[in-house]
Structure 1
Amino acid sequence: MQERQRHKLADTAQQIVGGFLLSGPFVVTGEVWQLARNMTVFHSLFLVAVIMAIGYGGLYGADNDRDPRREAAILGVPVRFISLLIVAFGSVTLLAFAITAPSVFLADLDPAGRLAVTARTVSVAAIFSVVGAVTTDSLF
């Protein structure tokens, strides 16, 4: 029986670099925030499913050397995949609040409205973040 591969801090660091690199331009673009204003919860959930598919496919479908059954897992879900999703959504969220984007782009909304639109914006920008995170994870 093969030993499960451990997920290292360096793997997450690589994901973080890629996640921030590709998400940055979308967090600071007013058009993305305007799109998010018009989205529904269904749209956001659909995007989350797309992000998960891109992430899993990028990690395990595009890389023949990586087998999710041989990696460390939590409740059957590979730790590398969990890390990828945390990085994809976390980097966008952190960046949005660090640069005060919700206050800039959503100044006309009440706090609850800002939070709702920010969550939808995160689901849009996380598409690009997951691509960057999975790319750097696979390349390095």
Structure 2
Amino acid sequence: MSGNRYAYADTVQQVVGGVLLAGPFVVTEEVWLLASRMQWYHSIIVVGVVAAIGYSALYTADDGRDPDREADVVGVPVRFVSLMVVSFGSVLALSVVLTAPTTFAAELGVGSSVAVVGVLAAKAASVSALFSVVGAATADSLL
């Protein structure tokens, strides 16, 4: 376990865990189909669920970690901020590297403008982040 002190290695562990668990979802057509049918409020709810899962995994499931004793950014623990950036950012980056947004936008016929593809990618990243946050938080807590 990485303890209370946050280090660069914690982010690396989060990335490995997040990509490992969410990687397969980034290239799954069902995720992109769901994303194409989500409204803005669905995305906000999913982001809230991801944040709740992440915070709970870091500070409720792990008895040795106290958010009040960690370094923070505007009152939010740096470890939690890192977890959120990793959970959403790693799946978004992986999807772009694998050309999933343009591939699935064409397959689903949602349009090809940068804005439409970007919104679709953000929605798909939020769905994939549900899995990424579990892997990222687990790797951070166990390693």
Whether TM exceeds 0.5 here: the answer is yes
**TM-score interval w.r.t. the shorter chain?**
over 0.9
Maintained 8 Å contact 2:57/2:138: yes
| 1:17 paired to 2:16 | yes
Q: How does 1:88-103 map to 2 (within 5 A)?
A: 88-103=87-102
Deviation at 1:7, TM superposition (A): 1.3
| Unaligned residue ranges in structure 1 (runs of 5+) | none
**In structure 1, what is the Cα distance between the partners aligned to 2:75 and 2:104?**
40
**Residue in 1 aligned with 2:141?**
138
**Aligned equivalents of 1:13, 1:102: Cα separation in 2:** 25
Superposition TM-score, scaled by structure 1 size:
0.94
What does 1:1-140 align with in structure 2 at a 5 Å threshold? 5-107=4-106, 108=109, 109-111=111-113, 112-140=115-143
Q: Deviations over 1:47-86 (max 9, x none)?
A: 0000000000000000110000011111111000000000
Structure 2, gaps ≥5 residues long: none
Using the TM superposition, give the Cα deviation of residue 117 of structure 1 relative to its aligned residue in structure 2, in angstroms.
1.1
Deviation at 1:110, TM superposition (A): 2.5
Work out the number of aligned pairs and report it: 136
Worse overlay, 112-121 or 44-53: 112-121
Post-superposition shift, 1:113?
Answer: 1.4
* Root-mean-square deviation (Å): 0.9
**Structure 1 stretches of at least 4 aligned residues deviating more than 3 Å after TM superposition:** none
User: How far apart are the structure 2 equivalents of 1:62 and 1:118?
Assistant: 31
Question: Structure 1 residue 103: deviation in Å?
Answer: 1.3
For residue 110 of structure 1, give the secondary structure of its aligned residue in structure 2: coil
Determine what percentage of the aligned residue pairs are the same residue. Answer: 55
